[in-house]
Structure 1
């Protein structure tokens, strides 16, 4: 985590006025008191926050607040966004919000919520966006469209594509994308999909190898991105049957340990802790190991049914 906070934003659900999906309450978990309440004309679809900003997404508007005073700082009119699709980087140095820019194609808008201005628009896919995620430092954004065959990664500062990964040849719904924690280039990106598998992309190694190839060869320097993407190796690994096919699942990279070559200080391998939770109540934790030769291994460390654990009041949680 980049920061910790005693604040929790809770959105209601149900028919009672106090549980309205148009009502947001900001709670202090230390005191148990509600600090402020915000009410909107339509349902709240997503909430994001950091030390300085609170972001509330509705279907066709996005509100940015100062989190200390809850003064509204900006209102953004958006295209219809019924699923609340967005990405947010909590870093104050690269605090960006990404939201869809179109309902017919996979373009997105990136806002700097600290400076309260539009940073850029990125055309990432031909089909509408299904999900996206920003790296924790706000340097990279990964996207997937409703087709789900390609995962694309862009460098935020220049709005340029850094890499494209092919997940598969057949369409699939991408449920989640997650970068590993990073200071510069994140070493790993994972995606969960309706196929039930988790797809693992060694991002740092792929970007470094692509940069070397482009800078070292004439053909690489003049080739259009669309052609070079097709020629690039997949750099793709799969954790099969991590969840039942069709069941929503979310994955988070909780930790990444890097292994350097002492003689060059180059990162030659990394080990990541992957946590997966599914909508049918299961939790899994894997250890993933990969290196710059595209060799990959994984081991399942823990697996249990959350509903059973909660019912049994198991103290291990």
Structure 2
């Protein structure tokens, strides 16, 4: 079932803890709880118009939106923060170019343009910390460590060199001055997807010394070729794993770590979600030829331990829930819940059309 034109979905974002999601629609914004699936809030077109980008701040009353789509009320170069408790917009930031992505934490607001990333203190006062020039970034790729309760926080986005990833420690920045960035040469081609594990903000020092706590800062990257996902240990600046989605080119829509960094999932235009084991790579599949002694980078690749099927016609984003659970929220308006096991089985446990789920609940 495809949504009607008035319900066209332009983008979907999970909350930082992956317990909820919001979707930007031709008819405004809706926010949903994941377990169980239930509508949390709906903001209609009379006040919001059509929205192209939205971002929740955890499960708080704050929501960031950017106009877009067929009937916008707001410019596509303006970020507005809506406070549901006050039922009004409380902040407006305008930029020189269209806003492609917004990332929020309880202490920072990050805005990605096609050639710049802006970092602000947040929520009050909201002041610009610094602006970084980037390479051409049409996807607005930008991710930040989701937790703000520790000493060090990682911001990553495409560097100016093709295929490279730039990393900045936000905890070591001051107004108008950022700390020395570090670059990882992740791929030969342009980056297409990024993810940071939650343990990233638990590591002892992002200034590239070995962490002294149990958390290891990891970043996952994929290029526009879409065949490989690479996982990097930021502190050591080394490749941890190379995970193979497939051998044919694909458009990756999303990559995400599980909350404990045990697994990583990705979705693509092939209509599949692949689940990889990060902490215990022995669980991942290998080519049968590698088991008989043949060697080579392709033959020794780690393939997904489990694969789930989703509609291929429209993009979808994926995230992990409780142990062994993967959610997929698609731009065709459908919701999917899968359960997988370490032996590779994967079954769809729930399906719904989230656009048909109504009934506002309290946060």
RMSD between aligned alpha carbons? 2.6
Distance 1:115 1:199, change over 3 A: same
Does 2:338 align with 1:283?
Answer: no
Give CA deviations for 1:125-178 in whole Å, capped at 9, x if unaligned.
Answer: 111111111112221111111111111000111221101011111111111101
Equivalent residue number for residue 45 of structure 1: 100
Does 2:158 align with 1:106?
Answer: no
Alpha-carbon distance, 1:179 to partner: 0.5
Equivalent residue number for residue 65 of structure 2: 10
Give CA deviations for 1:217-252 in whole Å, capped at 9, x if unaligned.
Answer: xxxxxxxxxx98656452523424x22334211111
Give CA deviations for 1:19-57 in whole Å, capped at 9, x if unaligned.
Answer: 111111122222213222111121111111111111111
Equivalent residue number for residue 241 of structure 2: 163
Distance 1:160 1:66, change over 3 A: same
Equivalent residue number for residue 254 of structure 2: 176
Report if aligned partners of 2:193, 2:221 keep a CA contact under 8 Å in 1: yes
- Counterpart among 106, 112, 129 of residue 191 in structure 2: 129
Give CA deviations for 1:172-197 in whole Å, capped at 9, x if unaligned.
Answer: 11111010002xxx110001111111
Does 2:104 align with 1:62?
Answer: no
Following the alignment from structure 1 to structure 2, what is the Cα–Cα distance between the partners of residues 195 and 15? Answer: 28
Report if aligned partners of 1:206, 1:235 keep a CA contact under 8 Å in 2: no
Following the alignment from structure 2 to structure 1, what is the Cα–Cα distance between the partners of residues 157 and 340? Answer: 31
Report if aligned partners of 1:176, 1:249 keep a CA contact under 8 Å in 2: yes
Higher relative contact order (CA 8 A, sep 6+): 2
Following the alignment from structure 1 to structure 2, what is the Cα–Cα distance between the partners of residues 26 and 207? Answer: 45
- Counterpart among 76, 94, 97 of residue 155 in structure 2: 97
Equivalent residue number for residue 34 of structure 1: 89
Report if aligned partners of 2:108, 2:121 keep a CA contact under 8 Å in 1: yes
Q: Which of the pair is proportionally richer in helix? A: 1
Distance 1:118 1:46, change over 3 A: farther
Equivalent residue number for residue 307 of structure 1: 355
Equivalent residue number for residue 236 of structure 1: 304
Following the alignment from structure 1 to structure 2, what is the Cα–Cα distance between the partners of residues 207 and 230? Answer: 16
Following the alignment from structure 1 to structure 2, what is the Cα–Cα distance between the partners of residues 16 and 235? Answer: 43
Equivalent residue number for residue 280 of structure 2: 205
Report if aligned partners of 2:156, 2:166 keep a CA contact under 8 Å in 1: yes
Following the alignment from structure 1 to structure 2, what is the Cα–Cα distance between the partners of residues 113 and 314? Answer: 36
Following the alignment from structure 2 to structure 1, what is the Cα–Cα distance between the partners of residues 256 and 322? Answer: 12
Q: Please, what TM-score do these two structures have when normalized by structure 1?
A: 0.78
Distance 1:309 1:26, change over 3 A: closer
Of the structure 1 ranges 115-124 and 6-15, higher mean CA displacement relative to structure 2 is found in 6-15
Distance 1:296 1:54, change over 3 A: same
Does 2:349 align with 1:274?
Answer: no
Equivalent residue number for residue 136 of structure 2: 80
Following the alignment from structure 2 to structure 1, what is the Cα–Cα distance between the partners of residues 136 and 72? Answer: 25
- Counterpart among 287, 296, 300 of residue 344 in structure 2: 296
Report if aligned partners of 1:88, 1:95 keep a CA contact under 8 Å in 2: yes
Alpha-carbon distance, 1:314 to partner: 10
Unmatched 5+ residue regions in structure 1? 210-226, 257-271
